[in-house]
Chain A
Amino acid sequence: MKILERAIENSGAKNFTFAQPPNELILESGEKLGPITLAYETYGNLDKENTNAVLIPHALSGDAHVARRILSEETPGWWDDMVGPGKGIDTNKYFVICSNVLGGCKGSTGPSSMNPKTGKPYGLDFPIITIGDMVNAQRHLIDYLGIEKLLAVVGGSMGGMQVLQWMVAYPDRIRAAVPIATAMKHTPQQIAFNAVGRQAIMADPDWKKGSYYGSSVPSKGLAVARMIGHITYMSDASMAEKFGRRTKTEKDPFKFGADFEVEGYLNYRGDSFVKRFDANSYLYVTKAIDCFNILNGHSLDCVFKGLEAKVLVLAFKSDWLYPSNQSQEIVKACKRAGVDTSYCELSSTYGHDAFLLEIEEQTKLISHFLRNVSNSNTNGVFQT
């Protein structure tokens, strides 16, 4: 109970360390990793029966800071329009948890963390991690917080993959799942975009096979990787609307400078990303995304068999990176398993980014869905 009270009173950034040697976490690859620290934030309060916890796994470049904190002036969280008091995921009603993924670089253990065996950053000595490993680590955090069953897991893109992983790995620990703009596995096209990003990083002479810590970082490579990412997150229409073919007012004397506004935007996005993200984490996390395959060893018929959680699958019309047919595959699998599921393809011109931007309709759907799950019978399954 002490642990719980601690979790409730200290909303904000926290760390949770587990898997201390010799009890390391056994990764899906069979390798052992420990100790592991997860940086996480919580918002709102756990109710008495611990039934109102909502876990929000983040996407590729996200972190634990999903929403604004009350007492600081820092930048708003990455899903601040969705998460907060009175918002779609209402922190007046729900206890929201968001943790930085295993392999990340925003406070959780990843390739830039200290390797206890060498006293230096892991670099490429960091083991390959999977979406399954990320979710296993989250489960340790949920255990630590004293939550037997989550009200819901809600996430988009790579966050959506983690939602699917929860549905398969820990079906008894969730009452609802909301996978958004995601896929059961990457297509060759999706892998290809990530592969080019990784190639850009590894082609940067500053990368030095991953051991660049303490010297100059592979900023050019990481920036190019991020630029490619940004192109895939937008749609043709949203780019046309945002930039058109407009050129910048002051001409760059260099022949191949950023003349078009879209070029300037990509440069800016690339540069600002380098300041906040680790290149090796980019390699590890994109690899985890590419290798993810929820059907691994399962047929579409049985992947979600026996799942009692309610599911809401969302996709966006203009999302060409995670097109709606991939969400429909998830729906198909849910149907075949007889899972209680809803599916909606939202109109939007924002492309893959829509799940972070197209807030209003998505907010309504998610808030209504959570409210109905929250109000439905809990079947007395909660024991503390």
Chain B
Amino acid sequence: MTAIDHEVISGWVNSGASVLDLGCGHGELLSLLIREKQVRAQGIEQDEQAIHDCVAAGLSVFQEDIDTGLSEYGDGSFDFVILNQTFQQVKKPDFVLKEALRVGKNVIVGFPNFVHLYARFQIFLRGKVPVTRTLPYEWYNTPNLHFLALADFMEYCKKRKIQMEKRTFLAKNRKISFFPNLFAENGLFLVKQPSKTLVPKLHETNHLP
């Protein structure tokens, strides 16, 4: 069975699009997108074993660091850049998202909600760092470097004038819409660079005849 987040992403990606998956793991999502949407797929992944699995699955993948791996790509090189469950793990999410928005016409970001109800319970009542289904790691072995809430990301996008085209909140295997910042375990967002036409071109206005 396909994970629900993969299903949602597959629903957002256009047929035949070019897709760059940052932190593609063993290539499950890219394989799904090739199967269902006939995309042109490229992955970036650090783990050697994961790379082997991707190549075995016929995927094109670079063994690289997401934090630095996008610099060679021109603006708008891909229709979709995906940061699913890796956004909270990169060293500089701010920079990586900016690069993803430059390289991709659309960017799909998915991450676990660190302030989900159950996580709040654990902090509040047990006085311990939460360990939940979507945050399964202990403090000493977690790959997650940044801890953010769905509300944090939405506020951040607003502040940076990043266009939010679509969003879906997930709890277990279903979509939810009721108080997502409290009840959703995962959030998925389709974002775009702020439309360039909205930015006034100063030098042009200065030189009006």
In the complex, which residues of chain A have a beta carbon less than 8 angstroms from the beta carbon of B77? 338
* Residue B64 interfacial (CB < 8 Å): yes
Of the candidate stretches B47-55, B168-176, B195-203, the one touching chain A is B47-55
What separation, in Å, do the CA atoms of A338 and B60 have in the docked complex?
12
Give the complex CA separation of A335 and B59 in angstroms: 15
Q: Which residues of A contact B (CB under 8 A)?
A: 310, 312, 331-332, 335-336, 338, 340-347, 361, 364-365, 368-369, 372, 375-376
* 8 Å CB contact of B55 from A338, A340, A344, A347: A344
What bracket does the count of chain B residues touching chain A fall in?
10 to 19
Shortest B103–chain A CB gap in Å is: 11
**Interfacial chain A residues near B63, Cβ < 8 Å:** 343-345
Q: Once the chains bind, are B52 and A365 in contact (CB under 8 Å)?
A: yes
The answer on a CB contact under 8 Å between B52 and A361 is: yes
Within 8 A of A (CB), among B20-73: 42, 48, 51-52, 54-56, 58-64, 72-73
Known A335-B62, A342-B59, A364-B56; further 8 A-B contacts with Cβ < 8 A: A312-B55, A335-B72, A342-B51, A342-B55, A345-B63, A346-B48, A347-B48, A375-B58
Task: State the CA gap A175–B60 with chains docked (Å).
Answer: 15
Closest CB-CB distance, B62 to chain A, in whole Å? 5
The interface residues of chain B lying within 8 Å CB-to-CB of A331 are 62
Contact for A310 among B54, B60, B64, CB less than 8 A: B60
Contact partner of B61 (CB less than 8 A), chosen from A342, A345, A361, is A342
Distance (whole angstroms) from the CB of B114 to the closest CB of chain A: 33
A341 CA to B42 CA, complexed, in Å:
8
Interfacial chain B residues near A345, Cβ < 8 Å = 48, 63
A344 touches B60 (CB 8 A): no
When A and B form their complex, which 7 residue pairs have the shortest distance between CB atoms, in order from nearest?
Answer: A372-B58, A368-B56, A335-B72, A343-B62, A344-B51, A342-B60, A344-B63
Tell me which of B42, B56, B63 has the highest count of chain A C-beta atoms within 10 A of its own C-beta.
Answer: B63
Which of B42, B60, B61 has the most chain A CB atoms closer than 10 A to its own CB? B60
